[in-house]
Amino acid sequence: MTAILTGLVSLLVFGVVILVHELGHFWAARHCGIRVEEFSIGFGPKLFAWNRGGTRYTLRLIPLGGYNLFSNPPDPEDGEEIPPVRPPERKKGLFPVVVRGLEFEQAGAWQRFFVTLWGAVMNFLLGLIVLLILVFSMGSLGGTTIAQFVDGASSSQTGLQLGDTLVEVDGKRVHTANSLAQLFDGTTRQHTMTVLRGDEIVTLPAVTVAPTEDAEGNIISSVDFRVAAVPKTLRNVLVQTGEFFQYYSTAILGGFWDLATGQVGVDQLSGPIGTVSAVSQAVQYGWRDVLSLMALLTINVGIFNLLPVPALDGCKLLFLLFEGLTGHAVPQRFQMAVNTAGMVLLLWLMLLVTMQDITRIL
């Protein structure tokens, strides 16, 4: 039963994350008046399809995301007539000028840039929505005001007092318990703190903060004090959501940087099988952990696609940025060669990571 539930949840998580990415490309293309020949939900054999607004919508057997199929104008060398570009039509909205009926390659560089970018943007929006749901579902939101010290707390003996509201720790601003917790690593260390004490800003140059341990000596908290809850207002919820998003994004970017600089090896990466294993663990803990994993995954997909790696959206954005700024497109042969090499490299990496995941499980 657990295996079936894990499989269903994995399909849902993967499917939603990838589908939202493709919906971003689709929405942006339709907004710019670029024709989408097919928008597919899933992959593999076609179950059924319907046509609307010049686009064929297809439901396919394997419900893992989807894709957009853009048609390109005929090559003049083939002897076919290239359809004329329709004149701009003005429509109300944030981007008022919309050219309708364009093939993808007939659209302007900035329109194609917009379409390419919105896949990742939608992943980030999904991440924010999921994190917002998680924050709303919390029983309480932690602030930065000291409400309690553990017995014999070092922090209370070196300057902190009940009622102090932490403003900065080691020069870094703190707004919530989440951002505060990120500044302590579970070791006993001295910190420079700025607190609001009554109506006065006080600087404490050497506050020693120690972790809290249980009876067996296990660390249960990286600090030796507790903070008070804050009201669950819209502002506090949005601030907490933004901090979670920043934390996830920073951690993901840090991981990619460590990989690029050789601080971590490819053997530490996980692929789809490793992610399914993580989903299985999250399912055992409950829906909140599943949503947290989904947020992490969709932000990861958004950031990964924006990396300047051949075959990814990030590399395509660089080509389009060059074309938009200079008015000259990067030669198609060069783009194809670079993207093909990147695709081969990514497929090799995916195969390697998948084999590593299988080895770990066995």
Predicted local distance difference test score (pLDDT) of residue 79? 47
For 205, the domain range is 141-231
Q: Residues 6 or more apart from 20 whose CB is under 8 A from it?
A: 122, 123, 125, 126, 298
Domain total of the chain:
1
Q: How confident is the model at residue 27 (pLDDT cuts 50, 70, 90)?
A: very high
Q: Which of 41-55, 67-81, 143-157, 304-318 has the lowest mean pLDDT?
A: 67-81
Instruction: Look at residue 276 and tell me if it is in a domain.
Output: no
Instruction: Look at residue 125 and tell me if it is in a domain.
Output: no
Give the pairing type, strands 212-213 and 89-90: unpaired
Instruction: Look at residue 313 and tell me if it is in a domain.
Output: no
Instruction: Look at residue 270 and tell me if it is in a domain.
Output: no
Instruction: Look at residue 152 and tell me if it is in a domain.
Output: yes
Q: Can you tell me the mean pLDDT for 324-351?
A: 91
DSSP code string of 32-78? TTB-EEEEEEEEEEEEEEEEETTEEEEEEEEEEEEEEEE--PPPGGG
Predicted local distance difference test score (pLDDT) of residue 273? 76
Q: Residues 6 or more apart from 9 whose CB is under 8 A from it?
A: 279, 282, 283, 290
Q: Inform me whether the pLDDT recorded for 176 exceeds 50.
A: yes
Q: What Rg value do the Cα atoms of the chain yield, rounded?
A: 26
Instruction: Look at residue 262 and tell me if it is in a domain.
Output: no
This prediction has a pTM of 0.84
Q: Inform me whether the pLDDT recorded for 11 exceeds 90.
A: no
Phi, psi of 267 (to 5 degrees): -65, -10
Predicted local distance difference test score (pLDDT) of residue 40? 92
Instruction: Look at residue 175 and tell me if it is in a domain.
Output: yes
256 within 8 A of 307, measured Cβ to Cβ: yes
Instruction: Look at residue 19 and tell me if it is in a domain.
Output: no
The CATH number given to whatever domain includes residue 195 is 2.30.42.10
Looking at per-residue pLDDT, the higher value among 174 and 73 belongs to: 174
Q: Which residue has the tokens 């009926």?
A: 101
